[in-house]
Amino acid sequence: MRYIFKFPDIGEGLEEGTIVEWHVEKGQSVKMGDSLVTMETDKVVTAIPSPRDGIIAAKFGKVGETIHVGSALVEIDMAGVEGEAAVAEASKAESVEEEGAGVVGTLEVAGNSAVLSASKEGVDTSSIKLSDKPKRVLATPVARALAKESGIDINQVKGTGPAGRVTKEDIVRFASDTTTSPTSTGTNSRIVSDEKLVEMEPLSQIRKTIAKNMIQSKHNAAHMTVFEEVEISELDKVRKRYKERYANDDVKLTYLAFIIKATALSLKKYRALNAEMDMEKGVMIYKKYYNIGIAIDTPKGLVVPVIRDADKISIKEIAKEIQILSDKAKDGKLTLNDMKDGTFSITSYGSIGGLFAVPVINYPQAGILGIGRINKKPIVKNDQVVPGLVLPLSLSVDHRIADGGETARFINTIMDYLEDPVSLIME
């Protein structure tokens, strides 16, 4: 008798998990409690043990693939359980699910449909899912229209809305799954067959989040970028003077601390740059708090923790905060709290390399300031060529929110502050 084990909600309200490692092979016999697979979820990374004794008849999903809560993980041929006994065995799990369903939200365990007749052995799952679908699926009108437009058979799409309704998101997901999945037939088959020539690595949760955010930003915001150069010899002097003094307090005073302050003060003058647009509701949200996200490069990927109330705290405090956040980022200890509620972002790629770049907005924020590599070069001052210390700036804004004039005035203000650092403490 066949038992389908569906990925349970192991963390109070999980939606999905990523396969980190399989511990069993098809045909292998397992005992209840043996590890089947290690899953990475939003809450924990953990081994999932087998709920039954038996032989692994099928595994679903490769390392790196995302499995939704309630989707099949493995099928187990239960040893010595035949016919009605197996149905009882499976409905056991079902009753547990029904009984406590309200306790933790979307928890699901293997249900009634968990038992397949033995004759369906070896049938590929996509067809099993299809045969379970009613002829005309429930779907929202916009989803139907989108499916028609994209040439997708809506009956093949698994709905995740209320009562299994197919939503717009389901169509989008289905479309991207069928075009990008390396396991789909056709164009991409070479990638699979040449596994010796390439190295396949599963997408980590953080890489997926980055990808999602980048696409969302490029898709929704109208990017426009302006480049500038600012001479910062004065700022350099101030920094050098206080650097050693602060070092005694274990605070590393960086240019970034000054730039964050200058940005926060400039945001106060140009509210569009600290705003967010909600097109559905038809409103602009001007924020009266100034939380600056700083992009930090970590071995695992890019993270953007937030310096809160940068307009209110001192440059020294900003420097301290930068240090704490980057240490946490490097140790992978940032919490959701450290990263939320940013109103504007700064990316300082220049500390690694690059003069100018076109930064991607941290959507739904209105802008992001890119800091290039500081370089010594000749500049013209009072009609004389003199050596200067030049900081390149790249400012990307969402052109839906900020117009060109406002954007230019905003970057001018930042530059004024950086050219004359004393002004940073004068207001």
Partner 1 sequence: MFNNYNPINNIEFQILDHNGKIVAKDMLPSIKDADLLKAYKDMLFARTADLQIVSYQRQGRIYTYPPNYGQEAISGAVGSLIKDNDWLVPAFREMGAMLAKGVTLKELFLYFMGYEDGSKYSKAKRTLPISVPIASQFLHAAGLGYAIKYSKDKDLVYAFVGDGGTSEGDFHEAINFAGVWKIPVIFIIQNNQYGISTPTKMQTASQNLAIKSIAYGVKGIKVDGNDYFAMYKTLQESIKICESGEGPVLIEAVTYRKGAHTTSDDPSKYRTKEEEELWDTKDPLKRLKSYLISKKLWTDKEEEKIIEQYKVEVDRQFIEAENYGPYPKEDIFKYMYAEMPDDLKEQEKEYERFLEWKASRTK
Binding site for partner 1 (CB under 8 A): 5-12, 32-33, 43-51, 70, 92-93, 95-104, 106-113, 132, 160, 162-164, 333, 335
Output 7 or 255, the one with its CB closest to partner 1: 7
Enumerate residues 6+ apart whose C-beta is below 8 A from 140: 161, 165, 166, 167, 168
Output 114 or 393, the one with its CB closest to partner 1: 114
Q: Is 219 a catalytic residue?
A: no
Query: By CB neighbour count within 10 A (0-12 exposed, 13-18 middle, 19+ buried), where does 289 fall?
Result: middle
Q: How far is the CB of 279 from partner 1 (least distance, A)?
A: 29
Query: By CB neighbour count within 10 A (0-12 exposed, 13-18 middle, 19+ buried), where does 323 fall?
Result: middle
Q: Cα separations (Å) of 238 from 242, 261, 264, 373, 421?
A: 6, 14, 19, 19, 8
Q: How far is the CB of 137 from partner 1 (least distance, A)?
A: 11
Distance CA 306, CA 285 (A): 19
Q: How far is the CB of 69 from partner 1 (least distance, A)?
A: 9
- φ, ψ of residue 171 to 5 degrees: the values are -65, -45
Distance CA 327, CA 322 (A): 9
Distance CA 222, CA 125 (A): 41
Output 113 or 150, the one with its CB closest to partner 1: 113
Output 42 or 153, the one with its CB closest to partner 1: 42
Q: How far is the CB of 211 from partner 1 (least distance, A)?
A: 23
Distance CA 421, CA 336 (A): 33
Q: How far is the CB of 30 from partner 1 (least distance, A)?
A: 12
Q: How far is the CB of 7 from partner 1 (least distance, A)?
A: 8
Output 111 or 301, the one with its CB closest to partner 1: 111
Alpha helices (H) along 141-252: 141-150, 168-180, 189-193, 205-220, 233-247
Q: Which residues of 43-58 are buried (b: 16+ CB within 10 A; e: fewer)?
A: eeebebebbbbbebbb
Output 105 or 387, the one with its CB closest to partner 1: 105
One-letter amino acid at 27 equals G
- The residue from 23, 68, 223, 399 that is catalytic is 399
What are the catalytic residues? Answer: 399
